Every structure is written in C-alpha cells, then in structure tokens.
Chains A and B, each alone.
Chain A
Amino acid sequence: MPSRWRVALLSVEGLVKHFPLGGAGAWLDRLGGQAPRSVRAVDGVSFAVAPGETLGLVGESGCGKSTVARSILRLVEPTAGRVIFGDVDLTALSAEPLRRQRRNLQMVFQDPTASLNPRLSVGRTVQEPLQRHTTLGAGERRARVAEVLAQVGLGAELVDRYPHELSGGQRQRVNIARAIATRPRFVVLDEPTSALDVSIRVRAILLLDELRSTLGMTYLFISHDLASVKYLAHRVAVMYLGTIVEEASTAELFTRPLHPYTQALLSAVPVPDPDRRHARIVLAGEVPSPIDILGGCRLRGRCPLAQPVCAEPVTLRAVAPAHRVACHLV
C-alpha cells in the first residue's frame, strides 16, 4: 500500500454501489438465467484523504460522485468495499456506533433550500447536531450557535428566521454552519456551490477554504465546476462511469492531464479570455448507460485514441509519484 494511506484520515477501499433494477426487466433476467442487471453507479473506487487536505472529486452527471459521497456516510449502503475513518471501519459499524461517528463526519448538501427543514428556524437547525452529539445545555448550545453563525458570516439576529426568509447564499451558509457545529474532522461537500449565483459562489468557496484552515478540517469536495476545484483542492480525482480514471495533485492534473477523458473535460471548460479560444477535444456521442457496461476501458466507445488493447480491463495505476491513471495508452 502506498505510504500515504497509512496517515490517511479517510480511506476508501474498493467501494462498490449497485442499484438493482427492479420490475419486470429484472424478473425476466432471472427467468432467462442471467444475473439481474443493476445500475452500477460506483464500480470499484479507492482513494485516501490525508488530514487537513481537500480532495476534489470531479466528473459529469452520472459518474457516481454523489453516490460515492453518500456511500461513505452510509446514507446509502455500499454493495461492497470498506470505508476506514481514522481507525474505525465505518462499513462494519452497527446503527448506534455509526450514528455517534457522525459527530466527526458531516456533509454540506447541494441544494440550500431543499436541505433545510422549512419549518425549523435557523437556530433550531444549527443547534440540532449539538443536541444529538453533545451534552451541552440549552444556553450553552445557543452560545455555540451564535459563534458558528458568526464564523460563517451570518449575523446572530438570523437565529429566529426561517429558511424562506433568507437568500440562497444565506441558506447555504446555514447549511455550512450546521455541518461545522460539532467541529467535525471531515466534511463532504456535495456540490456546495452549484445552486448558487456566480458572485455568491465565490464567497462560498472562500469561506469554505477559510473554515478548513481555521478549524483544521479535511474536505472531500465534489463538484463539476473545475475552476472552483482548482482553487480549493490539493488533489483531484476524476470519475467517469463509476470509476476513477485519473488522480493527481491539482497542479499536476491541470497542467499535465494524462487520461483522454480528463483532457477532454478540461478542454471543454470555457475560459474567460477571448484570445484563448482553443480547439476542443470532443468525445464522440454521450455518456453510456451505467447499466450495460462493456468490458475493458469504459471510455472505449468515445475515445479518439482508442486502440484494440483498450478492450482489455484497465486498472488505476501510478505512472508518477502521486499520479495515478487508468489508461492503457499512458
């Protein structure tokens, strides 16, 4: 095992999540003697996050990054694989010990409106994690809530307001406040800025960065906004159709992307400089369905560099220190 895994705060090993297809189709599959098909949302993902770092997880819709996030927190139950947090195997815990671990493993959700209970005030929402995980009294909780709200840049007077009275940016800050209330060691950020307006997005990113260093947290930053990831993340893993295709330090990934998918993805990001209109690497067709996945490299049908060898199964392997790629041609 690479040495960095020994000091990892979170280590994901061989994570798999398949959603079985129900209904007539599956029944007919079984009848015909075939194993019932499923949506292979996450199909063998392994990575590690060191304490204090931000790992960016990027990919387009359907690549499985959100499912990875939910599997790590066991909001959905992994089909296979292990998640080691510190020295605890999260996947082996029963309900109550798992619940207790949540003090240290939090999540900021994508949709700031949908992730806040509309009937609870800001104060009530933010103090709930404290209620569930600490023995602080009501007064102490109130004080802590005020402190956390200040940390995310919200005034204490918002404590009695309801989500619908706040702007999108403020709601997302409440979301963040709730996640950091118990001073967790690890926070999963699931597209925390996608639903925000462009100028608010910048502030949210800066806030998240500041909180990480001030409170000594570790992040898994899931996003499809590559520019934000470039700013916030120390290392980046690129996902496609349920697997990681490339993983490297941020600087390395953005300057020397090796996997054709990473190259295509980066070339598609519009750059706000009219003199730098570059030729795009275009992948043919659209992302295939995660149900019937062909053997070999998953990019095979769309890759401009595809060779016969690409029909062989491919593994994620190190081609340079701290740079892993899953491609036969590298």
Chain B
Amino acid sequence: MSELLQVHNLTVHFATEDGLVEAVDSVSFSVRPREILGVVGESGSGKSVTAHALLRLIRPPGRIVRGEIRFEGADLLALPEEQMGEVRGARIALVFQSPRTALNPVLTVGGQIARLYELHQHVSRAEAWRRTIEMLTLVGIAEPARRARQYAHQLSGGMCQRVMIAMAIASSPRLLIADEPTTGLDVSIAAQILDLLRGLGRRTGASIVLITHDLGLVAEACDRVAVMHAGQLVEIADVRTLFKRPLHPYTQALVRSIPRIDREVAMEPIPGAVPSLLAPAPGCRYADRCARVLEVCRRERPVLRAAGASHEVACHAVEVESGTAVR
C-alpha cells in the first residue's frame, strides 16, 4: 500500500535571541490514503510546528533543518516555491485554530471562499459564487446564501470553523490537516465539527491529520494515533492499540491522567513538566519525567521501532523489557 504522505526525520529549529529552540526533533510518520491520523501532545510538543512544516509554512527564525516529506511521491522540501504554492491549499489544506481570527475580518466569508475558486480553478465570479454556496451547504451552514454575505464577526465560533473547513476543502485536497479544530468550541459544536470532518473525509476520500491535545477526540475520530512529547514522536499505533496497550511511559501516563465521564478514575497528573526546548539535553526528552528511565535514555535518543502490527515505539525501556530490540 503506497502511503499518501511520508515524513522522514523532520527536524525544525528556531533561532531565537535566547538560543536555538529545537522544536521538532527527527519526527517520522506516514499517512495512508483515506485514513484519519491523530497527532496528540501537550502544548510545546511540536505538533503545530510539524503541521506548518508539512506545508512549508515555517518562516525565519524557524528553519527546517533536515528531513524528507514525500507527498504523492514527490519530496515537498525539494520543490521550488512556485510548485509548492500549487500544492498548498489545493492538494494539502490546513484548517487553523481560532477560526474567527484566521478569517479576514474585512471580507465577507463568501467572498473569501469564492476567491479561492477564482484563483485555483480559474472560473468566473458567478461560477465561483455558485460553488461557494454549494460548499457552505456541504459543511452544514443553514441559509448559506445569506451567511455568505456576512462577515466573520457576525458568525458564531462553530460557523466560523465550518467556513474554514469549507475553504480548506474547496479544491478537494487529498490531505487535510486540522490544527486543533475544536479548541474553544462548545462540546456539542465540537462534536458536530468532528462529525463533519469525518464525513468529508469519507465522502471525498481525503486523508485527515487531526492535531489535538484531547485524547477523547482522538478516540472518537481517528484510525491511527501519533503521540508527541517535547518535539519528539514517542509512539504511533492504531487507535485501539494505543488506548488498550500503550507502551511508551508518556502515553501511559497521559491516558491515566485525564478526567473522564465514563468511569471513575483517579486522575494522576504526569510528573514533572515539559522540558525546555532551548538547547535540550541529548537523548530522550521524557527522561526527567520517566519512572522507567535508564542510563542510556539520557545519552541516546531512542528510535522508533516496531512493537507489533502497526505499532511503533521510541523507548529504550520498552526495548529492554521486550528482550531484544524488535527490528
């Protein structure tokens, strides 16, 4: 099965006045066609930076230091900017956090979407407007013709997010990256947005990368999940395996720590704090918080290794405990 997206050893650094922030450290994962991949982590885990890197949206002082991003066969990092511009928005789309602030406040929402059609699909203004209304209906906005003529501040948070999604899928991308699409939205609206994304994925055959800190969302919507901690990808597995048999100490701690409404749970906060990414220590960045830390953990960064069908973990302790390193 050929993957839609293959990320290999992606590393992103930010050169700030205080020093070098190593925001993303050798992250590797793939996205298959028609799947929903969840990327989970606390703030500072590097998940948003990874998303922006996929679309080459990293600006100075940020820099993609090394890595490979193969999308539909081509290495995105090697493409000239012009061709990358054609990929962005058209083949890979990004839905931002804070929908209201990501929309242009001085243009009508319909106008913003219509412009995309005019630009990417070279159609007339009238045709673009027609497609816009169609798209707004598709994303579940009632009275689309009236709403299209309104401005971002006149719409609720949930509606703004639907508009953002409409903009993202306007050109039928193969890959949709949703960066915290439900943060700040009410629970019931968030649920609707999630259903919308899933439905769109099924209907258009696009793959979705869902970036969030909410494990509940991930359990509801995703096929596979990647867990990030302090810029490193620590575990990636299909969703059931991740929740039933998490192997990485961080994943285990994360699952144990969240409050739930379906069962009585003693919420155990994860010990320690996310380490600073400014000139970080070599080795595993979870070492200072880990109950199973070994000496090698502080010296050598663990590499993602297979730990079962569709299950990879980057942890020395897991390798040691499973006998030998599974290759």
Interface residues of A (CB under 8 A from B): 60-61, 167, 197-199, 202-203, 205-206, 224-228, 230-231, 254, 264-266, 268-277, 280, 282-283, 285-286
Quick check: is B52 within 8 A (CB to CB) of the other chain? no
Give A262 Cβ to nearest chain B Cβ, in Å.
12
Most A Cβ at <10 Å: residue of B195, B213, B258, B259: B259
Interface size on B, residues (CB 8 A): 40
Quick check: is B220 within 8 A (CB to CB) of the other chain? yes
* Cα(A198)–Cα(B44), bound, Å: 12
A282 and B213 within 8 A (CB): no
* 18 A/B residue pairs, CB under 8 Å, sorted by A: A197-B42, A197-B213, A198-B213, A202-B257, A202-B259, A203-B269, A205-B259, A225-B259, A228-B259, A231-B259, A268-B190, A268-B191, A270-B190, A270-B217, A272-B216, A272-B219, A280-B191, A285-B142
Contact of A272 among B142, B190, B255 (CB under 8 A): B255
Question: Quick one: closest A residue to B142, CB to CB?
Answer: A285
CB contact under 8 A between A227 and B259, given known A197-B42, A268-B188: yes
* Cα(A188)–Cα(B83), bound, Å: 55
A266 and B213 within 8 A (CB): no
B187 and A227 within 8 A (CB): no
Give A106 Cβ to nearest chain B Cβ, in Å.
24
Give A211 Cβ to nearest chain B Cβ, in Å.
16
Quick check: is B122 within 8 A (CB to CB) of the other chain? no
B218 and A61 within 8 A (CB): no
Give A102 Cβ to nearest chain B Cβ, in Å.
31
CB contact under 8 A between A286 and B156, given known A198-B214, A206-B269, A265-B187: yes
B270 and A271 within 8 A (CB): no
* Cα(A254)–Cα(B269), bound, Å: 23
CB contact under 8 A between A271 and B267, given known A227-B261, A228-B259, A266-B261: no
* Cα(A116)–Cα(B322), bound, Å: 50
B260 and A227 within 8 A (CB): yes
Give B231 Cβ to nearest chain A Cβ, in Å.
16
Chain B residues lying within 8 Å of A269, measured Cβ to Cβ, are 187, 216, 261
Chain B residues lying within 8 Å of A228, measured Cβ to Cβ, are 259
A265-B188, A270-B194, A270-B219 given; name 18 further pairs at CB < 8 Å: A197-B213, A198-B214, A199-B42, A199-B257, A202-B257, A202-B259, A205-B259, A205-B267, A226-B187, A226-B261, A227-B261, A265-B187, A266-B261, A271-B219, A272-B219, A274-B240, A280-B191, A283-B188
Question: Quick one: closest A residue to B214, CB to CB?
Answer: A270
A268 and B257 within 8 A (CB): no
Contact of A230 among B190, B218, B259, B273 (CB under 8 A): B259
A254 and B156 within 8 A (CB): no
Most B Cβ at <10 Å: residue of A167, A203, A225, A270: A270
* Cα(A202)–Cα(B260), bound, Å: 11
B186 and A61 within 8 A (CB): yes
A277 and B261 within 8 A (CB): no
Quick check: is B293 within 8 A (CB to CB) of the other chain? no
Give B259 Cβ to nearest chain A Cβ, in Å.
4
B191 and A198 within 8 A (CB): no
Chain A residues lying within 8 Å of B219, measured Cβ to Cβ, are 270-274, 276-277
Quick check: is B154 within 8 A (CB to CB) of the other chain? no
Quick check: is B112 within 8 A (CB to CB) of the other chain? no
Question: Quick one: closest A residue to B218, CB to CB?
Answer: A272
B216 and A270 within 8 A (CB): yes
B181-198 CB mask vs A (1 if < 8 Å, else 0) is 000001111111011000
Interface residue ranges of B137-177 to A (CB < 8 Å): 142, 156-159
Chain A residues lying within 8 Å of B194, measured Cβ to Cβ, are 270
Interface residue ranges of B19-45 to A (CB < 8 Å): 42-43
B209-232 CB mask vs A (1 if < 8 Å, else 0) is 000011111111000000000000
* Cα(A265)–Cα(B259), bound, Å: 17
Question: Quick one: closest A residue to B215, CB to CB?
Answer: A272
Interface residue ranges of B216-264 to A (CB < 8 Å): 216-220, 239-240, 243, 254-255, 257-262
Contact of A202 among B43, B187, B255, B267 (CB under 8 A): B267
Chain A residues lying within 8 Å of B215, measured Cβ to Cβ, are 272
Give A116 Cβ to nearest chain B Cβ, in Å.
19
